[in-house]
């Protein structure tokens, strides 16, 4: 398949001048489109969607809005501009010029980092593919589709790196990212959070707030990489990822706002008779999505993370703003550990605690969203506070994996954990109820009963705008 690289794939990586790379992408693209048709947003190919498309990295080209059919979306390849003076900012190669080509000694490690990040992008599209059936408004449906096409573009970005820099191994890895599928029993996605179903919109909003926020911190760490093409790719991806998190945080806030309105209107905490989502049920969903997203940061003490750092492959969040020697060979960092039946904070090697420091940054960022949601609750005069559960709660990865811990951080007996789960995590009954609320609303300017209309506009368009046209 011949591709017009200036029109079909807007890019700033000189695709038209690299015939080898052209041939590689021409072989990959038909499989990508086949995957999109089979596992992308269901029955959406004929919809005209008011999408934001990046045509360049500058301010004028970053956000071009127009109606687009998603299979015709221009999945572009963009890296932030080259900084000819850029040096490696951490690890054993600190001060040396950033690598423009893959260092042979780190080829395997870099490929693993790129593949793991790249695998998350199509996974989230697969997880969300059925949500269009139950969209709460055209505004929300458009936001879903925007997130979907940008996750597809992020896959393109990682595939470009594999094709451009890793030869046959890279091409094989790019193909395998289309062969693994979210939740597949035989070939699941690499990270477990991306094998969890996203069956309804409350889960979607929680996912884009919590799990996409993990993506922010992982991308920010890779944006510090000494391998310059990876760093430049991730910096541009971060711009789009920020908008995904806005979809999540503002979506949950709209649920909270509507919940408070219903509570005041009917003078009750139990909203099941009134088609709302109670605050305690929101807390359960929060607990679940926060805990599975926390797992994505990996082991608290990790030699792999230490090695990536020392090699100069993956840094810390805002690496250059941290006031230390950026080697960490003699530095300490506080880490939570299990001691007998208590969780205590102890000093550990800063180098092997890279994951935990990143998780700490993530927790602080998550807390900002909760402050906004709780402000809505306070302004409604309701005595309730949404809280992040303890980092050891409901963990499947790391030293707390399988440990029976309450949301408050108390280690309890396994039997007590089994008994308490229904109060802390969504039950089967809870999920059935939430799914029962998911009735599609496709009339412009209308919204489902369980959430409030949005306060934010898209490109200055009103809520009543026809964001999706069903052709």
When pLDDT is cut at 50, 70 and 90, the band that residue 442 belongs to is very high
pLDDT tens digits for 213-249?
Answer: 999 999 999 999 999 999 999 998 998 898 899 999 9
| pLDDT value, residue 75 | 86
What is the DSSP-derived secondary structure letter of residue 340? Answer: T
Kindly state which CATH superfamily the domain 15-470 is placed in. Answer: Ribonucleotide Reductase, subunit A (1.10.620.20)
Rounded Cα distance between 354 and 321, Å, is 15
| pLDDT value, residue 56 | 79
Evaluate whether 136 touches 207 at the Cβ level (below 8 Å): no
Please compute the mean of the pLDDT values over residues 116-124 and round it to a whole number.
97
Stated as kind and residue range, the H or E segment containing 69 is: strand 64-69
When pLDDT is cut at 50, 70 and 90, the band that residue 330 belongs to is very high
Buried b (16+ CB within 10 A) or exposed e, 31-41: ebeebbeebbb
pTM of the model: 0.95
Could you tell me how many helices (H) and strands (E) the chain has, helices first?
Answer: 13, 5
Please compute the mean of the pLDDT values over residues 81-89 and round it to a whole number.
86
Question: Which SS3 state, helix, strand or coil, does residue 440 take?
Answer: coil
Buried b (16+ CB within 10 A) or exposed e, 331-359: eebebbbeeeeebeeeebbbbbbbbbbbb
| pLDDT value, residue 18 | 87
Q: Which residue has the tokens 């004929």?
A: 46
Rounded Cα distance between 367 and 194, Å, is 23
Q: Which residue has the tokens 């492959």?
A: 313
State what percent of residues in the chain have pLDDT above 90. Answer: 86
pLDDT tens digits for 261-306?
Answer: 999 999 999 999 999 999 999 999 999 999 999 999 999 999 999 9
Least confident window among 14-18, 198-202, 229-233: 14-18
The candidate with the shortest Cα–Cα distance to 124, out of 104, 103, 108, 147, is 147
When pLDDT is cut at 50, 70 and 90, the band that residue 5 belongs to is low
Residues 6+ apart with CB under 8 A from 126: 39, 181, 182, 183, 189
**Max CA pair span of the chain:** 68
DSSP-assigned states of every residue in 158-218: HHHHHHHHSHHHHHHHHHHHHH--TT-SSS--SSGGGGS---SHHHHHHIIIIIHHHHHHH
Cα dihedral angle (277, 281, 126, 51), rounded to 10 degrees?
Answer: 40
């Amino acid at each position: 398949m011949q591709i017009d690289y200036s029109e079909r794939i807007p890019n700033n990586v000189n695709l038209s001048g690299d015939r080898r790379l052209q041939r590689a992408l021409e072989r990959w693209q038909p499989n990508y489109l086949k995957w999109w048709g089979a596992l992308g947003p269901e029955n959406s190919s004929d919809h005209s969607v008011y999408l934001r498309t990046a045509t360049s990295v500058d301010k004028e080209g970053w956000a071009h809005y127009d109606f687009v059919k998603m299979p015709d979306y221009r999945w572009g390849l963009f890296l932030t501009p080259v900084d000819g003076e850029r040096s490696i900012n951490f690890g054993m190669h600190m001060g040396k010029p950033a690598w423009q080509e893959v260092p042979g000694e780190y080829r395997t490690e870099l490929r693993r980092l790129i593949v793991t990040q790249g695998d998350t992008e199509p996974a989230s599209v697969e997880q969300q593919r059925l949500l269009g059936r139950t969209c709460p408004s055209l505004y929300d449906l458009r936001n879903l589709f925007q997130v979907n096409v940008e996750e597809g573009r992020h896959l393109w970005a990682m595939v470009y790196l594999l094709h451009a820099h890793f030869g046959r191994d890279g091409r094989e890895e790019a193909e395998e990212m289309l062969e693994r599928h979210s939740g597949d029993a035989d070939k699941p996605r690499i990270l477990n959070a991306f094998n969890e179903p996203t069956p309804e919109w409350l889960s979607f909003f929680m996912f884009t707030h919590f799990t996409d926020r993990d993506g922010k911190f992982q991308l920010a760490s890779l944006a510090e990489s000494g391998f310059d093409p990876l760093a430049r790719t991730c910096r541009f991806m971060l711009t789009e990822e920020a908008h995904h998190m806005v979809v999540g945080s503002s979506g949950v806030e709209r649920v909270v706002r509507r919940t408070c309105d219903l509570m005041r209107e009917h003078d009750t905490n139990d909203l099941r008779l009134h088609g709302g989502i109670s605050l305690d049920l929101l807390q359960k969903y929060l607990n679940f999505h926060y805990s599975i997203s926390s797992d994505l940061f990996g082991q608290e003490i990790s030699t792999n993370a230490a090695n990536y750092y020392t090699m100069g492959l993956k840094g810390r969040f805002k690496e250059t703003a941290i006031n230390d020697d950026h080697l960490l060979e003699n530095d300490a960092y506080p880490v939570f550990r299990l001691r007998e039946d208590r969780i205590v904070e102890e000093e550990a090697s800063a180098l092997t605690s890279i994951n935990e420091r990143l998780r700490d940054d993530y927790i602080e960022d998550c807390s900002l969203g909760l402050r906004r949601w709780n402000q809505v609750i306070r302004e409604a005069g309701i005595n309730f506070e949404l809280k992040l559960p303890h980092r050891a709660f409901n963990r499947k990865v790391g030293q707390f994996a399988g440990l029976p811990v309450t949301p408050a951080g108390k280690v309890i007996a396994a039997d007590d954990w089994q008994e308490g789960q229904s109060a802390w995590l969504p039950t089967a009954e809870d999920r059935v109820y939430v799914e029962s609320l998911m009735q599609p609303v496709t009339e412009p300017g209308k919204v489902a009963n369980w959430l409030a209309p949005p306060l934010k506009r898209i490109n200055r368009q009103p809520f009543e705008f026809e964001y999706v046209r069903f052709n």
